[in-house]
Structure 1
Amino acid sequence: MVSKQLTSIQIGRGIAILMVLLVHVSAVTRSFTPSVDWTFFAFGSAGVDLFFVISGFIICIVAEKRESKSSVFLVRRFLRIYPLYAAFTVLWFIMSHAVGRGETDFIFLAKSLAIIPQEPMPYLFVGWSLEHEVIFYGMVALLLYAGRQNWLLPTLVAVWMIALLNWVGLPVLGHEPKWDYHLFSLYQIDFALGVLIYRFRHRIDFSLWPVTLTIGLAAFPIITVMLARFYPDGHLPTQGQGVAGLVRVVLFCAASTLVVASLISAETRGGLRSRIALLLGQIGNASFSLYLMHHLIFAVVAVACLRAALPSALAAPAAIVAILTAICLSLIFYRWVEKPFHDWSSGRARRRAP
């Protein structure tokens, strides 16, 4: 049953957001003099790939079981992501101006607030992944409106094939890719694999799930080392292109798919009952809040470390403190703000559904 697989998905979200924290906490380690190299944790950028695979899985549940109408689907998706995203974007705007580094391009700020896909990173930079999510939601809504939900997987595959021509083919031929508002993004394969997992969820049963889960998780840093050939500075771009971009997306997608499938198998076999699994599930519940707020928290810690002129020996402890602080605050925020608002908005959407 799908309902029995939601715990595994929340644990997957917990793993994904912890990976993101590991790579983004470099904002803290760079505030030391000399700055501390944190590139080993560059594999954390694959946390977004894991999020996208999970999103493909979850949206199938949302669209198939509860929200058969496109209008209701869009309203619920809007209420799920936009209010919090807008609130944290405004908060980041206020914080930035408080230290004299605020954005003065208000058209750019308006586009960022509207989650309009754009070539530069949005004002609250983690919003770049939400831009991809919005495009994915738009595809799902159109298919729901047309009564063709079952076309989602082939549609995503077709869109990804076009993405190959634009983001891989053109660079290989020496041309710049055309800006496509993320419609033809290489990340579409992540959503497609999430949909595929959902389609075969009842057949996924790895008896050796601890082994496959370990392999999937270990693959992230191993792949990152392999990608050093393409990205010697250790930075993995969010919008890769050419052969390097293709290798990055495909390998991280494969690892993410194995992780999700292993977690589903683990739950089916009753293997997710440890305290660590419970903690990861709780973090997964608060993952959206944590994803939005961690950048602000890391920025505050980084400024504090910079002004205190702390020695580099304290960089790792400061990074750990920043991560733990972000997790604790997000759990509190989820308990008292995000979850109550989500329950309230879902109830209103349900009552207004035709």
Structure 2
Amino acid sequence: MTSIHSIQYLRGLAACAVVCFHVSEQFGGPFNVGAAGVDVFFVISGFIMWVTTAGRTADPWRFMGRRITRIVPLYWIVTLLTVAGILIKPQFFYGHFFSVANFVGSLFFLPVLQEGALHPIVIQGWTLCYEMMFYLVFTLVLFLSERWRFGVLVSALVAIVALHFVLPAGYAQAFTDPVVIEFAAGVAVGRLWLQGARLPLGVALAMVVLGFLLLAAGPLFDAGMARALRWGVPAALIVAGAVFAERARPFKPAALPTFLGDASYSIYLWHVVVGVLATGVVLRIGIPSALQPATILVATVALSAMLYLIVEKPLIGLLHPQRPKSVVKASNAAAAGAAERGRLQA
């Protein structure tokens, strides 16, 4: 099976962009657009879920089980360590909110609401609340015949967003935020990709460039513009352009961006806790203030990626053991001529 290397690259880039955003925020910098890495993740998630399930015998329970075992264990570990950090050094965890109710709610993706927004113990974990909701909807759709799935899935996601504008404030309105439509965009790109659609290399690259230009131009737009428009549309252009550019001109992947893609979930989850530790060390050893942001950024990404090797990768091996090679080869032979799916675990 052929890997979609551009997806791995974008996952690593998105995770590092979010780290840049939080470091910039810590020092009062201007890199708010780094938060759009989340929107890229949402589009990629829709793409991956569609590509890795289409054309296969549906097993909704197995799908949801694998999503839970892939996402939850590491998230719980980071949540527990964040709670410990808050209790030991609360002054280092500015903006975090700890209570027993929020701790329990965070573990089950129902954290407290602050100003109508989800606010779990691990502050960046709000995105996982939407991911888990998307997985739930996707699981239900897998019970349908394959010919109905795309239409029902996209319609359901659009309906969820439509409800946002009529529901009263509370969890229902929070979980129907328009950002949900970004998953549908990824699903649509994935369907086109599996159908064998192609774009000229120049057009695909132009889409990627346009997406990044729109992100850079974000401050010029109305501050009240919905995130799904301001950052979701550029994210969809970037993901679509990248996968179709790779189809037009495949390339041999480089080791570092591929590794960062593999480690992207760990980088995303660990970076706030690790960033707090890195900041403490940087301040203690007296690094000049001008070098502090870059030092903290590099240290945070490096240490978070290391935790992928130390914690997440062993967890994956334990919970998602690889099939014997003979079975894999037989499966691959049987799947010859089927759509490419690649190494696309989210």
Q: TM-score range by the shorter chain?
A: 0.7 to 0.9
Structure-to-structure mapping, 1:72-221, within 5 angstroms: 72-100=62-90, 105-116=99-110, 118-120=112-114, 121-147=119-145, 150-164=148-162, 166-167=164-165, 177=169, 179-180=171-172, 182-201=174-193, 202-208=196-202, 209-221=204-216
Shift in Å at residue 218 of structure 1?
2.3
Q: In the aligned structure 2, how far is the partner of 1:335 from the partner of 1:305? A: 24
Runs of 5+ unmatched residues, structure 1: 30-36, 171-175, 231-243
Q: Does 1:302 align with 2:279?
A: yes
Residues 1:179 and 1:96: Cα distance change in structure 2 (over 3 Å): closer
CA contact (8 A) 1:153 1:196 kept: no
- Aligned residues of 1:11 and 1:281 also touching (Cα < 8 A): yes
Contact 2:201/2:249, CA 8 A, preserved across alignment? no
* CA distance in structure 1 between the partners assigned to 2:41 and 2:273 by the alignment: 20
Match of 2:11 in 1: 13
Structure 2 portions without partners, runs of 5+: 328-346
Q: Match of 2:263?
A: 286
Report the equivalent of 1:321: 295
**Structure 2: how far apart are the matches of 1:289 and 1:42?**
21
Q: Which amino acid aligns with 1:38?
A: G
Which letter maps to 2:69? L
Q: Deviations over 1:79-98 (max 9, x none)?
A: 10100000001011111111
Equivalents in 2 of 1:318, 1:156: separation in Å?
A: 45
Distance 1:90 1:107, change over 3 A: same
What amino acid sits opposite 2:29 in the alignment? W
Q: 1:322 to 1:77 in 2, by over 3 A?
A: same
Retained in 1: the 8 A contact 2:214–2:234? yes
Instruction: Report the 3-state secondary structure (helix = DSSP H, G, I; strand = E; otherwise coil) of the residue aligned with 1:4.
Output: coil
Instruction: Give the TM-score normalised by the residue count of structure 2.
Output: 0.80
Q: How far did residue 289 of structure 1 move?
A: 0.3
Deviation of the 1:267 alpha carbon: 2.0
User: What is the alpha-carbon distance in structure 2 between the residues aligned to residue 28 and residue 309 of structure 1?
Assistant: 17
C-alpha separation between the residues in 1 aligned to 2:37 and 2:308? 20
Distance of 1:149 and 1:110 partners within structure 2:
39
Could you say which residue in structure 1 is the equivalent of 2:242?
Answer: 263
CA contact (8 A) 2:138 2:153 kept: no
Question: Tell me, what secondary structure is at the counterpart of 2:36?
Answer: helix
Aligned 8 A contact 1:27 1:299 in 2: no
2:313 partner amino acid: K
Q: Percent identity?
A: 26
| Structure 1 residue corresponding to 2:52, chosen from 34, 58, 62 | 62
> Does the 8 A contact of 1:56 with 1:192 survive in 2?
yes
Give the deviation of 1:7 after TM superposition.
1.3
Structure 1 residues 133 and 252 mapped into 2: Cα distance closer, same or farther (>3 Å)? same
Q: Would you say how many aligned residue pairs link Structure 1 and Structure 2?
A: 314
Q: Deviations over 1:105-149 (max 9, x none)?
A: 211111111222542310111110000000000001111234467
Give the Å deviation of 1:322.
Answer: 1.6
**Alignment RMSD:** 2.9
Change (3 A) 1:110 1:287: same
Local SS of the residue matching 1:145: coil
| Divergent runs of 4+, >6 A | 307-311, 348-351
Cα deviation, 1:57-91, whole Å, max 9, x if unaligned, reads 11113333667211111110011010000000101
1:43 is aligned with what amino acid? V
| Paired position in structure 2 for 1:337 | 311
Which residue of structure 2 lines up, in the alignment, with residue 26 of structure 1? 24
Contact 1:117 1:182 in 2 (8 A): no
2:220 aligned residue: 226
User: Counterpart in 1 of 2:343?
Assistant: none
The TM-score normalised by the length of structure 1 is 0.78
Shift of 1:273: 3.8
Per-residue deviation, 1:21: 1.3
Alignment CA distance shift 1:47-1:329 (3 Å): same
Provide the C-alpha distance between the structure 1 equivalents of 2:37 and 2:98, rounded to a whole number of angstroms.
31
